[in-house]
């Protein structure tokens, strides 16, 4: 009963956002705020606060004290390109990274400043736990240390899709896609995301222990940060990246009980898109490799997931999400316990979405809405939670014990905006709300500019939609958002999902407006990086007024000929033409 009353209280609280130009001074008395940046892998907006039937009470508690953007999108639906994009504030065509194997952007594109680097350059102590940068050549095999981080990054034990750690009915271990486990029986008696949380919690305790001392100096010893020579407390920028719900869905088995199979529903649009060009199809090869998925591994690229496994996959994804919700709850409750909840900005997002049976798709690797849309929220203490009247900011809530109708009514708590947001907006937004210099919009010759962004700060939207006085009046906010995806061939093959740079011959550019999504698949030269805009190989058009679930490509329909001409022109003018316009004619 107490938990029910507490959940009801969360849903009744209405948070009104009040932001001033002196945002930093408003909630930190002239000091610099800390920043906690949470990145969740393959994370669509599968949250109760976003209207999804998923048990996520801890993230919903955060959402009820935050600004939620309900139309936020990644610039490419695959891990490494997306993460390098939003961490540098540049789009994939400017980082020259469309795969996750080939290049380190500082060497191949430009010596671009990253979000944590900007905070580090402004006196912040920066540290990373888990998957923040994509590990490997794309981040110099160091997750961009020492440029971005004050100390080497912490990575938990790696897991692989082919690891045989999942118990089967035959009593043996298998490489399953859906993998509920007894954690105590796993290697080391733990899971990677639990280790990342433990590491971040330990770091918070160490930071709190010296926040009023002199000479802070931390180094990482094994799996636990150790404090030596206590020094003057500096603000911190801590990034924590969670691997789940990325494949394989390995999670503590008790979370499966939250989603009985008989309660699971198929995706509302489970059928193959009518008139979809072959180049747009994502054949979810990495799902097929699981020993528990009864489909052909290589050849049957268009075959649907059997209905039984459609439901099992959705069950496993949601169970893994609830597991991560509990880990985030552990971290946020510690943030409050050690005294940082009132002076720490929190940003939470996914690196891209994930397709859960929509259009017969399972995974990412496409330009569909379900592959590019992500949750995005910002918690700003004493600003976004001004009407939060519970004595605790972040009480730890066990998803297994919650009594709630999936917290859908909590969507009215906190504040929500449907303005276009892109992950490249993270850099300028975090800079502005923390009181740092905001990176300007990059010039056309972006490769020779170290400090700039191809996104814009979302702070003016917050001012505008809350009727809060602002020096930046908006005439028009962004009128479109953009994503892209590379392909090696026009027809699906085993290399279609994640082609390496020498294999990329086609680039699909997608533009999302309030009424349409328009896509052109164009010839791409992987040596010169040139795109041939004169000869589209295929075109897609979806009308959100008539077809909000993107079930039919209407590009060839006569009624849309003028729409196609107009959208084709806008796509070629690209993201710069879609930037906001302010009263003084400049971009915020």
Question: Which alpha helices (H) appear in 289-306, and where do they start and end?
Answer: none
- Rounded Cα distance between 309 and 153, Å, is 37
Cβ atoms of residues 374 and 74 within 8 Å: yes
Helix, strand, or coil (residue 488):
coil
- Indicate the helix (H) or strand (E) that contains 80: helix 79-88
Residue in 519, 576, 417, 158 with CA at minimum distance from that of residue 587? 576
CA distances from 529 to 8, 506, 574, 582 (A): 54, 11, 16, 33
Instruction: Look at strands 415-417 and 236-242 and give their pairing.
Output: unpaired
Residue 55 annotated to the active site:
no
Residue 249: Cβ within 10 Å count: 25
Cβ atoms of residues 508 and 486 within 8 Å: yes
Residue 283 annotated to the active site:
no
Q: Supply the DSSP symbol for 14.
A: -
- Rounded Cα distance between 517 and 276, Å, is 13
Which among 11, 55, 79, 326 is annotated as catalytic?
79
Cα of 334 vs its chain's centroid, Å: 23
Residue in 381, 378, 350, 377 with CA at minimum distance from that of residue 364? 350
Q: Helix 79-88 to helix 426-433 angle, to the nearest 10 degrees?
A: 40
Helix, strand, or coil (residue 523):
strand
Half-sphere exposure of 412 (CA within 13 A, CB side): 6
- Indicate the helix (H) or strand (E) that contains 82: helix 79-88
Which among 11, 55, 118, 134 is annotated as catalytic?
134
Buried-state track 422-448, b at ≥16 Cβ within 10 A, e below 16: bbbbbbbbbbbbbbbebbebbeeebbe
- Rounded Cα distance between 539 and 524, Å, is 15
- Rounded Cα distance between 383 and 385, Å, is 5
- Rounded Cα distance between 343 and 337, Å, is 13
- Rounded Cα distance between 500 and 490, Å, is 16
- Rounded Cα distance between 273 and 359, Å, is 6
- Rounded Cα distance between 431 and 188, Å, is 39
Catalytic center residues: 79, 134
């Amino acid at each position: 009963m107490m938990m029910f009353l507490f959940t009801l209280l969360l849903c009744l609280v209405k948070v009104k956002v009040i932001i001033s130009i002196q945002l930093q001074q408003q909630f930190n008395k002239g000091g610099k705020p800390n920043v906690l940046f949470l990145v969740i892998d393959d994370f669509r907006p599968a949250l109760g606060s976003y209207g999804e039937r998923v048990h996520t009470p801890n993230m919903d508690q955060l959402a009820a004290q935050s600004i939620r953007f309900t139309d936020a999108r990644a610039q490419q639906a695959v891990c490494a390109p997306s993460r390098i994009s939003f961490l540098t504030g540049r789009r994939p065509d400017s980082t020259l990274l469309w795969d996750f194997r080939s290049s380190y952007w500082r060497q191949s594109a430009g010596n671009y400043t990253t979000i944590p680097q900007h905070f580090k350059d402004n006196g912040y102590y920066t540290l990373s736990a888990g998957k923040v940068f994509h590990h490997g050549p794309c981040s110099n095999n160091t997750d961009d240390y020492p440029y971005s981080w004050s100390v080497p990054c912490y990575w938990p034990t790696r897991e692989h899709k082919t690891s045989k750690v999942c118990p089967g009915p035959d009593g043996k271990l298998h490489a399953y896609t859906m993998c509920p486990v007894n954690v105590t029986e796993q290697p080391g008696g733990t899971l990677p995301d639990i280790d990342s949380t433990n590491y971040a919690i330990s770091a918070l305790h160490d930071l709190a222990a010296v926040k009023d001392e002199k000479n802070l100096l931390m180094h990482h010893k094994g799996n636990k940060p150790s404090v030596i020579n206590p020094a003057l407390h500096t603000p911190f920028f801590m990034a924590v990246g969670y691997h789940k719900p990325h494949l394989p869905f390995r999670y503590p088995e008790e979370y499966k009980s939250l989603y009985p199979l008989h309660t699971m529903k198929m995706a509302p649009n489970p059928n193959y898109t009518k008139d979809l060009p072959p180049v747009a199809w994502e054949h979810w090869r990495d799902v097929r490799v699981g020993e528990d998925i009864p489909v052909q591994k290589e050849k049957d690229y268009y075959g649907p997931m059997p209905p039984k496994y459609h439901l099992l996959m959705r069950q496993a994804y949601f169970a893994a999400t609830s597991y991560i919700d509990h880990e985030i709850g552990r971290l946020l409750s510690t943030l409050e316990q050690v005294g940082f909840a009132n002076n720490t900005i929190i940003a939470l997002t996914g690196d891209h979405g994930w397709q859960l049976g929509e259009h017969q798709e399972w995974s990412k690797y496409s330009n569909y809405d379900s592959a590019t849309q992500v949750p995005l929220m910002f918690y700003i203490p004493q600003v976004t939670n001004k009407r939060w009247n519970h004595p605790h900011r972040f009480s730890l809530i066990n998803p297994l014990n919650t009594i709630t109708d999936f917290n859908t009514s909590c969507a009215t708590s906190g504040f929500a905006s449907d303005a276009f947001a892109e992950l490249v907006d993270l850099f300028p937004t975090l800079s502005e709300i923390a009181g740092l210099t905001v990176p300007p919009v990059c010039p056309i010759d972006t490769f020779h500019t170290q400090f700039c962004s191809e996104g814009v700060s979302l702070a003016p939207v917050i001012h505008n939609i809350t009727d809060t006085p602002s020096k930046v009046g908006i005439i028009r906010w962004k009128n479109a958002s953009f994503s892209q995806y590379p392909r090696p061939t026009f027809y699906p093959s085993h290399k279609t999902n994640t082609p390496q740079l020498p294999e990329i011959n086609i680039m699909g550019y997608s533009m999302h407006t309030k009424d349409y999504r328009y896509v052109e698949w164009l010839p791409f030269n992987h040596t010169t990086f040139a795109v041939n805009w004169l000869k589209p190989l295929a075109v897609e058009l979806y009308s959100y007024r008539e077809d909000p679930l993107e079930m039919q490509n209407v590009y060839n329909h006569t009624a849309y000929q003028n729409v196609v001409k107009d959208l084709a022109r806008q796509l070629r003018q690209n993201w710069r033409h879609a930037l906001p316009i302010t009263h003084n004619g400049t971009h915020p």
